[in-house]
């Protein structure tokens, strides 16, 4: 009995590995980023790593148009006069007109029907519901991939610089934010274009770019995180 107890005490119990997490980001989270989420999910499931890699997508537009007003008007204790002045500024900027246009996003909506149709023809199903970016994304995700430079710089980087004074975020969290096209091998573009204002060929082009980037992305993640394949 004594030997078995010692053996049990010295035995190393298996540790549960936290899934590697990837977040895809575009402006409204209704076209490019959910498409990237769907494409990457397809490759991850195909390789059998869906329980070891967490995938999500988000949009930066809520941060610009609504997040600032919420933070300023409700999270900071300011005078009534200041509130009136801020209200006037937001009104002059057409805040309410923008809000009406974006209300569908704030409630959470499906991906653009044209993108869902284009992806379905490629054998990829997109089921995600739109959501805005949040400060916890910098903590919860290992990699944050933006569709273009504006989403990276004016979206996540501005959000990080604002939130880091309010929330306990890692100092180097901004290093997690990269451009998804940096993983492309077959395409020379540095950004994924927004296809919403073009024809059907635009959606197919975006899917081709995302397939290129996501396939390479998965290989890169597996190469840098050996435990995903070993566990």
Please report the DSSP string for 10-60 in residue order: HSPPPPPPPPEEEEEEESSSSSHHHHHHHHHHHHHHHTT-TTTEEEEEEES
32 carries an active-site annotation: yes
Tokens of 34: 């959910």
DSSP 8-state class, residue 75 = S
The answer to whether 22 touches 101, Cβ cutoff 8 Å, is no
The catalytically annotated residue of 54, 122, 194, 196 is: 194
Looking at 47-127, list the stretches that DSSP marks H as alpha helix, in order from N- to C-terminal side.
Answer: 61-62, 68-74, 80-92, 95-107, 113-121
The catalytically annotated residue of 32, 148, 184, 212 is: 32
26 carries an active-site annotation: yes
* Residues catalogued as catalytic: 26, 32, 194
């Amino acid at each position: 009995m004594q030997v078995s107890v010692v053996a049990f005490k010295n035995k190393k119990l298996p540790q549960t590995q936290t899934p590697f997490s990837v977040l895809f980001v575009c402006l409204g989270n209704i076209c490019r980023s959910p498409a990237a989420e769907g494409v990457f999910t397809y490759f991850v499931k195909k390789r059998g790593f869906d329980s070891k890699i967490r995938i999500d997508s988000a949009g930066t537009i809520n941060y610009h148009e609504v997040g600032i007003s919420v933070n300023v008007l409700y999270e900071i204790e300011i005078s009534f006069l200041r509130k009136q002045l801020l209200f006037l500024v937001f009104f002059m900027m057409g805040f309410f007109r923008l809000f009406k246009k974006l209300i569908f996003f704030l409630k959470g909506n499906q991906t653009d029907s044209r993108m869902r149709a284009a992806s379905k023809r490629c054998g990829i199903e997109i089921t995600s519901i739109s959501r805005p970016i949040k400060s916890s994304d910098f903590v919860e995700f290992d990699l944050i991939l933006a569709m273009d430079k504006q989403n990276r710089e004016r979206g996540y980087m501005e959000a990080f610089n604002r939130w880091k004074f309010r929330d306990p975020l890692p100092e180097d969290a901004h290093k997690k934010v990269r451009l998804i096209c940096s993983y492309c091998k077959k395409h020379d573009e540095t950004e994924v274009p927004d296809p919403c204002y073009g024809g059907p060929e635009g959606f197919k082009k975006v899917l081709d770019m995302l397939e290129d980037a996501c396939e390479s992305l998965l290989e890169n993640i597996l190469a840098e995180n050996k435990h995903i394949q070993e566990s």
